[in-house]
């Protein structure tokens, strides 16, 4: 069956999108949502590993990169409203969502918004390192803690090097965004509703304490379509330590879309 290509003349992009290697004749757009505090530039190298007819669109939230002076969102409704208002011209044709950790929650919630309004859905949801909405948090919240305790918590959950956390100028710039993102992640309980009519593939780190691998299959109840789960070596940030294996699975999924 042939799949209609995305128009050669791509819509004008905005500050929400980082497009590392524009592919005007792509048949599929892949929106990538980074983890808390993350920049979409982390997806730059992915263009060499995914099919040549897929256009990567990294989602750049406020508070990072060239949006560093914009306050990051700490409330789900405001973030989703802004995303929905900013991306309508791009959420057309055929597209998929990928997200890691907080980014996976954002991808899922945006898909729910689209579904509730009868708008086109992603052809596939690829969710990495993120517990299913009904699964409780397994580690204490840190977003409300004083700076020093918050920084220690960041080191424990993300492996942020101590030298980075001790760089007071750098942390003064980055901490508000990190705190807002972590608040989003820690206050997320998911949106109730009917399962999405789109396939879901999840990726779990074998030693991930934030999204325990034995609970990841519970995402299956959130789709009426095909469900697939992959277990990869590593802790929470296995997308860095097991990147090659992760991209192999992503490529196979994209080729089937």
Gap between the Cα atoms of 49 and 136, Å rounded? 34
Q: How far is CA 52 from the centre of its chain?
A: 21
- Fold category of 17-135+190-256 in CATH: Rossmann fold (3.40.50)
**How does DSSP classify residue 223?**
B
The neighbouring-strand residues paired with 100 are 128
pLDDT at 161: 61
Tokens 């989602």 found at: 59
pLDDT at 89: 87
Q: Which residues of the chain have pLDDT under 70?
A: 1-13, 158-162, 164, 192
For residues 25 and 65, the answer to whether their CB atoms sit within 8 Å is no
pLDDT at 14: 79
For residues 127 and 104, the answer to whether their CB atoms sit within 8 Å is yes
For residues 19 and 13, the answer to whether their CB atoms sit within 8 Å is yes
pLDDT at 132: 94
Residues comprising the chain, all counted: 257
**How does DSSP classify residue 4?**
P
pLDDT at 159: 58
Q: So which residues are the catalytic ones?
A: 101
For residues 150 and 179, the answer to whether their CB atoms sit within 8 Å is yes
Nearest to 147 by CA among 186, 125, 174: 174
What are the residues whose beta carbons fall under 8 Å from the beta carbon of 226, sequence distance 6 or more? 199, 200
pLDDT at 192: 67
Token digits for 69?
């002076």
Gap between the Cα atoms of 237 and 239, Å rounded? 5
Q: Where are the beta strands (DSSP E) in the chain?
A: 17-18, 28-33, 54-59, 95-100, 125-128, 200-205, 227-232
Token digits for 243?
């990147």
For residues 32 and 54, the answer to whether their CB atoms sit within 8 Å is no
Gap between the Cα atoms of 41 and 168, Å rounded? 24
For residues 154 and 178, the answer to whether their CB atoms sit within 8 Å is yes
pLDDT at 147: 86
Gap between the Cα atoms of 244 and 68, Å rounded? 30
The CA-to-CA distance between both ends of the chain, in Å, stands at 11
């Amino acid at each position: 069956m042939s799949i209609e290509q995305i128009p050669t003349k791509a819509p004008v992009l905005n500050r929400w999108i980082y497009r590392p290697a524009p592919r005007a004749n792509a048949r599929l757009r892949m929106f990538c949502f980074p983890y808390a505090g993350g920049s979409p530039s982390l997806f730059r190298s992915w263009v060499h590993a995914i099919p040549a007819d897929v256009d990567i669109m990294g989602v750049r939230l406020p508070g990072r990169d060239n949006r560093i002076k914009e306050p990051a969102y700490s409330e789900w409704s405001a973030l989703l409203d802004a995303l929905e208002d900013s991306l309508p011209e791009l959420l057309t044709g055929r597209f998929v969502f990928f997200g890691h950790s907080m980014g996976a929650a954002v991808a899922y919630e945006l898909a729910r918004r689209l579904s509730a309004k009868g708008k086109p859905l992603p052809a596939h949801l690829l969710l990495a390192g993120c517990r299913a909405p009904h699964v409780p948090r397994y580690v204490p919240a840190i977003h409300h803690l004083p700076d020093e305790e918050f920084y220690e918590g960041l080191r424990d959950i993300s492996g942020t090097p101590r030298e980075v956390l001790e760089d007071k100028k750098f942390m003064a710039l980055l901490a508000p965004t990190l705190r807002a993102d972590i608040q989003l992640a820690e206050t997320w309980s998911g949106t109730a509703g009917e399962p999405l009519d789109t396939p879901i593939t999840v990726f779990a780190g074998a030693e991930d304490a934030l999204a325990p691998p034995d609970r990841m299959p519970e995402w299956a109840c959130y789709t009426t379509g095909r469900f697939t789960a992959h277990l990869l070596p590593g802790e929470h940030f296995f997308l860095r330590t097991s990147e090659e294996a992760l991209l192999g699975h992503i490529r196979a999924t994209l080729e089937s879309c």
